[in-house]
Amino acid sequence: GRAEGSISLVRGGPVTALVDTGGPWGRGRLLELLGARGLSPGDVSHVVVTHGHSDHVGNINLFPQATLLVGQDLSRGPGLYLPHGLPRGRPLPLHPGLLEVVATPGHTPDHVSLLVRGTSLGTLLLAGDLFEREEDEEEWRRLSQDQAQQERSRSWALGVADVIVPGHGAPFRVLRQGEGPAGGARGGGHGEEEDGEKEEEEDGE
């Protein structure tokens, strides 16, 4: 089947981060989306690629100047690889208190997600293919390299996030005990800007 991954742009303090870069076939569209926000690739300070599949990692060569995380490979500049704690389960802060990368293994062993705190929607998790889409129960298992590990990662995510941006669908709100569909608890926030702190781009399925 055809895969088109979500691409998210997050701005917080000095950090302008792109989470996933789509597939190489979507290069023109990615440049258009950045341009529509007055940005060129050189304005992106960090690129976080949740995992190494081609529909997520396809345009990293547009950002040679950015700090680049692909799964758990962290590099900067001309091939300088940097040590960090993600392989040992320690989060990687990009902007302390606001943006941190967390290890969310399962779909692939080195899969990561970006946690965004303090938005008007609460805590967001840009989750890559930890979640394919909102109702993905059968699908994620079929695509998972380690179902038990991904189950644990998904449980953690549902406990910490208010809104999840999945790898291939619209953002969805996490319903806590006692919350229901009444009062718009589900599905809000698709495509809206977060007080300049966060912008969301979905590029199809």
| Structure confidence at residue 181 as a pLDDT band (50, 70, 90) | low
Whole-model pTM: value is 0.85
The two tokens of residue 161 are 């996030």
Residue 99 pLDDT > 60, yes or no?
yes
Is the C-alpha dihedral spanning 24, 25, 27, 29 positive or negative? negative
* In the chain, domain spans: 8-173
Instruction: Calculate ∠ Cα 201-185-135, nearest 5°.
Output: 65
What is the per-residue pLDDT across 74-96, written as a single tens digit (0 to 9) for each? 999 888 999 999 999 999 999 99
CATH 3.20.20.70 is right for the domain spanning 8-173? no
Number of Cβ within 10 Å of residue 165's Cβ equals 29
Poorest-pLDDT segment among 1-10, 57-66, 90-99, 121-130: 1-10
